[in-house]
């Protein structure tokens, strides 16, 4: 079973209930992508074959295939060379797109009608029979099965970050968490056999796909950005007339050397990405770093980022969801004001490498004993090293008889039980947390989790009571309050 931020009831314990019951997991691996990229790599046409950033699985799969000296690999090598792209990035993009839009193995039939396929993908029609032969000769089903432990480990590495990014962004926009929102679909695929450090974002009709290959750190920021596009793009389309009334500002974007051409050609997309940049500043940066992020976005050519950043505090105080508030963000654009602002912007000559400036944290005194053990346990939990985290929380329980410290340990164990798909144990441990005088943060979230456990069991009335209790906790975090409000106001 795939690790997912959809469908599985276990993840409903750690994410909002709106993520459940989707027809397809939102975080997954694709057998079709695995096959296409393994074939590309075995044929010697995939970029960076010896990069130290590669996942070990890539080399293992390549060597297993090449050792058999298959005729299908020789045929594929010739095909790939005949269809070689202008750059390695373009090569990866083409075959990732092919893998997304074909249903394989074994057939590799297009998922869309021929005229709906991108022209470069449609031109690869002769690849399907070669891949079918490749699948037979390599016994791709066995290779896929042998690769599952590594794939599942990688998915687990992404799981927590994806849940947090989706939940936080959806909560901010007051939007449903479902990846099948309004008949549309959002999907993240993790790949280990392609070139490393790749992020491929694509939309086809109403489907949104993000493919991430192996990297030292999970590409959570990119996933958040793609999810925000998934939620906001329909609003830009719906209010296209109002947005295009501000299109005169696009002349400034046209003069920004670092801005990619597709943003210069599509004003709706430029406006949406500017709004996303502003939302990211509100969600992911400390107050001291936000203005730097905004200035950077403006210098890159996302010309309305500053406007949206100034308007978002008013939205945050409003009770309406973004889908209802969005028109005000657009109509509030003052062309004269933005002209004056943009005249002062010095655009970058090229796009800089992304540098993330974390929120500044005050220095903390050195920890020891149970406090140090709890800090280590939380760090292991954040990395989703659940076995070691569980042992660390248990050690913390042994080292301190103080109720507050024990509450923190039980709270950590409860979250691990939830992630391990043990709702009965999770309920017991969250209840134990509440009996030990937890601080406001842990108390509020424990109540929220208990509410979600009740909902997963079909018990809506107890869930409502838990949500109401969470809202009454003095000193609870804004995130916990939002989660409780969303749960309480959810339509039955």
229 assigned to some structural domain: no
**Cα 25 from Cα 227, distance rounded (Å):** 14
Distance CA 9, CA 20 (A): 7
- By three-state DSSP, how is residue 187 classified? strand
pTM of the predicted model, to two decimals?
0.67
DSSP 8-state class, residue 406: H
56 & 191 share domain: yes
Identify whether 219 is part of a domain.
no
Q: Is residue 142 part of a domain?
A: yes
Poorest-pLDDT segment among 193-207, 416-430, 446-460, 474-488: 474-488
Percent of the chain with pLDDT over 90: 57
> Residue 12: is its pLDDT beyond 60?
no
Q: Are 28 and 189 within 8 A, CB to CB?
A: yes
Q: Residue 402: which pLDDT band, with cuts at 50, 70 and 90?
A: confident
Instruction: Please check whether residue 71 lies inside any domain of the structure.
Output: yes
Q: Do residues 376 and 471 both lie within one domain? A: yes
* Residue 155 pLDDT grade (very low, low, confident, very high; cuts 50, 70, 90): very high
Residues 6+ apart with CB under 8 A from 127: 79, 98, 108
Q: Per the domain annotation, does 223 fall within a domain?
A: no
Residue 121 to residue 79: CA distance in whole angstroms: 14
Q: pLDDT-based confidence at 232, cuts 50/70/90?
A: very high
Instruction: Give yes or no: residues 83 and 140 share one domain.
Output: yes
Lowest mean pLDDT among 34-38, 183-187, 263-267, 432-436: 183-187
- Tell me: do 286 and 402 sit in the same domain: no
**Domain total of the chain:** 3
27 shares its domain with 145: yes
Domain-ending residue, one of 151, 179, 213: 213
pLDDT, mean of residues 312-317: 94
> What is the domain-level CATH number for residue 426?
1.25.40.10
14-28, 264-278, 280-294, 460-474: the lowest-pLDDT one: 14-28
| Cβ neighbours of residue 309 closer than 8 Å, sequence gap 6 or more | 278, 281, 282, 290, 294
Residue percentage of the chain with pLDDT more than 70: 89
Is residue 33 located within the same domain as residue 174?
yes
Q: Which residues contact 18 (CB under 8 A, 6 or more apart)?
A: 170, 176, 177, 178, 490
Residue 113 pLDDT level (bands cut at 50, 70, 90): confident
Which DSSP state fits 367?
A: P
Q: What is the pLDDT of residue 104?
A: 81
Q: Please indicate, yes or no, if residue 234 is contained in any of the structural domains.
A: no
Mean pLDDT of 82-90: 89
pLDDT of the residue at 475: 80
Asked whether residue 438 carries a pLDDT value surpassing 90, the answer given is no
Q: What is the pLDDT of residue 249?
A: 97
The Cα 8–Cα 25 span in angstroms is 9
What value does the mean pLDDT take over residues 466-491?
82
C-alpha R_g of the chain: 25
- Residues 366-395 have pLDDT tens digits of 334 677 778 888 877 776 777 888 888 888
Say if residue 35 is in the same domain as residue 181. yes
Residue 469 CA to residue 267 CA, distance in Å, equals 46
In a domain, 143, yes or no: yes
pLDDT of residue 22: 37
With a cut of 80, say whether residue 352 has pLDDT above it: no
Which pLDDT value is given to residue 180? 52
Range of the domain at 99: 9-213
Same domain for 147 and 244, yes or no, is: no
In a domain, 303, yes or no: yes
Mean pLDDT of 410-424: 87
Q: What is the pLDDT of residue 420?
A: 80
Closest CA to 134 of 211, 35, 218, 44: 35
378 lies in the same domain as 250: no
Does 116 score more than 90 pLDDT? no
Stretch 145-163: mean pLDDT, rounded?
93
In a shared domain, residues 253 and 208: no
Instruction: Note whether 403 and 477 are same-domain residues.
Output: yes
pLDDT tens-digit profile of 295-305? 999 999 999 99
From 320-329, 359-368, 389-398, 425-434, the region with the lowest mean pLDDT = 359-368
In terms of domains, do 209 and 298 share one? no
Model confidence at 348: pLDDT above 80:
yes
**Average pLDDT, rounded, for the chain:** 85
Would you state the pLDDT for residue 26?
84
């Amino acid at each position: 079973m795939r690790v997912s931020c959809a469908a599985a009831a276990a993840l409903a314990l750690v994410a909002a209930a709106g993520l459940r019951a989707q027809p397809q997991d939102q975080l997954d691996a694709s057998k079709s992508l695995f096959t296409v990229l393994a074939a590309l790599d075995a044929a010697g046409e995939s970029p960076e074959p010896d990069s130290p950033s590669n996942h070990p699985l890539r080399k293992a799969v390549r060597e297993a295939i090449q050792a058999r000296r298959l005729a299908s690999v020789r045929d594929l090598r010739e095909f790939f060379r005949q269809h070689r792209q202008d750059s390695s990035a373009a090569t990866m993009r083409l075959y990732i797109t092919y893998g997304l839009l074909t249903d394989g193995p074994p057939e590799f039939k297009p998922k869309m009608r021929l005229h709906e396929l991108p022209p470069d993908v449609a031109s690869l029609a002769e690849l399907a029979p070669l891949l079918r032969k490749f699948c037979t000769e390599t016994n791709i089903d066995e290779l896929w099965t042998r690769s599952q432990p590594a794939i599942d480990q990688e998915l687990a590495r992404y799981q927590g970050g994806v849940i947090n990014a989706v939940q936080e962004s959806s909560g901010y926009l007051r939007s449903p968490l479902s990846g099948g929102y309004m008949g549309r679909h959002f999907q993240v695929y993790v790949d280990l056999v392609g070139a490393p450090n790749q992020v491929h974002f694509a939309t086809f009709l109403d489907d949104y796909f993000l493919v991430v290959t192996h990297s030292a750190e999970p590409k959570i920021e990119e996933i958040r950005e793609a999810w925000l596009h998934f939620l906001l793009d329909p609003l830009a389309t719906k209010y296209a007339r109002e947005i295009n009334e501000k299109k005169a500002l696009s002349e400034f974007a046209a003069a920004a050397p670092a801005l990619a051409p597709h943003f210069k050609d599509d004003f709706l997309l430029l406006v949406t990405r500017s709004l996303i940049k502003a939302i990211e500043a509100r969600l992911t940066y400390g107050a001291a770093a936000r203005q730097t992020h905004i200035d950077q976005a403006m210098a890159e050519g996302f010309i309305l980022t500053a406007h949206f950043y100034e308007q978002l505090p008013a939205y945050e105080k409003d009770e309406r969801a973004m889908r209802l508030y969005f028109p005000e963000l657009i109509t509030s654009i003052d062309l004269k004001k933005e002209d004056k602002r943009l005249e002062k912007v010095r655009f970058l000559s090229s796009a800089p490498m992304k540098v993330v400036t974390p929120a500044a944290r005050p220095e903390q005194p050195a920890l020891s004993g149970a406090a140090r053990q709890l800090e280590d346990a939380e760090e292991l939990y954040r990395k989703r090293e659940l076995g070691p985290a569980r042992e660390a929380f248990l050690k913390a329980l042994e080292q301190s008889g103080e109720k507050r410290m024990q509450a923190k340990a039980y709270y950590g164990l409860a979250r691990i039980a939830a992630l391990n798909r043990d709702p009965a144990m999770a309920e017991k441990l969250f209840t134990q947390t509440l009996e030990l005088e937890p601080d406001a943060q842990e108390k509020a979230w424990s109540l929220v989790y208990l509410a979600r456990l009740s909902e997963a069991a079909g018990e809506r009335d107890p869930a409502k009571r838990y949500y109401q209790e969470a809202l009454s906790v003095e000193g609870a975090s804004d995130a916990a309050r939002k989660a409780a409000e969303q749960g309480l106001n959810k339509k039955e």
